[in-house]
């Protein structure tokens, strides 16, 4: 699924909504930059109008 499948906004518009640049948005869309920060991931999902999964946690240590 692509950005345009979710919402007909431009990379520039998505960049403004998420606090990045158009170039960064392009690199993310083409897989050259990974989204690792949860706040940034949430911002992109919100900007795209996509649902935010609940109950997900960052990778790391598992609870005992």
Q: What is the pLDDT of residues 3-60, one digit of tens each?
A: 667 678 898 998 998 888 999 989 988 889 888 888 888 888 888 887 777 776 656 6
d(CA 3, CA 50): 10
Q: How many CB atoms lie within 10 A of CB 64?
A: 3
3-state secondary structure of 11: helix
For residue 35, the model assigns a pLDDT of 81
For residue 64, the model assigns a pLDDT of 59
Residue 14 near residue 4, CB atoms below 8 Å: no
Q: Is the pLDDT higher at 21 or at 64?
A: 21
For residue 3, the model assigns a pLDDT of 67
Structure tokens at 18: 């998420």
For residue 27, the model assigns a pLDDT of 92
Segments making up each domain of the chain, as ranges:
3-48
Residue 49 near residue 1, CB atoms below 8 Å: no
For residue 32, the model assigns a pLDDT of 93
């Amino acid at each position: 699924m692509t950005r345009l499948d979710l919402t007909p906004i431009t990379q520039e518009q998505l960049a403004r909504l998420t606090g990045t640049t158009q170039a960064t948005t392009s690199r993310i869309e083409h897989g050259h930059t990974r989204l690792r920060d949860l706040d940034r991931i949430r911002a992109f999902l919100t900007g795209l109008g996509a649902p935010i999964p609940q109950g997900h946690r960052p990778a790391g240590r598992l609870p005992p």
